[in-house]
Amino acid sequence: MARALAASTLKRFRKMLEDEQTRLTDVIREIEDEQEELRLTETSSERSPDPNTAEGGSLAFEIEKELSLHQNAKDLLSQAEDALQRIGDGSYGFCAECRTAIPVARLEALPHTRWCVTCSAARY
């Protein structure tokens, strides 16, 4: 039978997720600042960057790289927020699919996970 996590364990995961949330919020803010800088670089240059030149190509690449980092950080942030919400409503630590308790060791490694190993493997 599924067993709820001890309050002290939940508290520890809450702390881990909140730290993660803070870190990701900072990362996202930094990326947004950099994107703004890149945009300024792009619009302030005399000619618009030509993707066929090395300079234009690398700028386009930079922007693309920043965008995917940004998306990735936002995904992780929403997962951390989700997990914090589940701690609040008592569903944290149980697989969203099969409802079994997720082993603490797995939560230690992936505090934001919603699935047990089996269901997670089945998803990907």
Letters for 101-120 (x = contact with Zn ion by CB under 5 A, - = none) are ---------------x--x-
Q: Which of 30, 62, 66, 97 binds Zn ion (CB under 5 A)?
A: 97
| SS3 assignment for 2-48 | CCCCCHHHHHHHHHHHHHHHHHHHHHHHHHHHHHHHHHHHHHHCCCC
Nearer to Zn ion among residue 47 and residue 123 (C-beta): 123
Picking from 5, 9, 15, 22, the residue whose alpha carbon sits closest to that of residue 84 is 15
Task: Decide if residue 27 touches Zn ion (CB under 5 A).
Answer: no
Size of residue set near Zn ion by CB under 5 A: 5
Task: Decide if residue 95 touches Zn ion (CB under 5 A).
Answer: yes
Write down the least CB distance from residue 106 to Zn ion, Å: 11
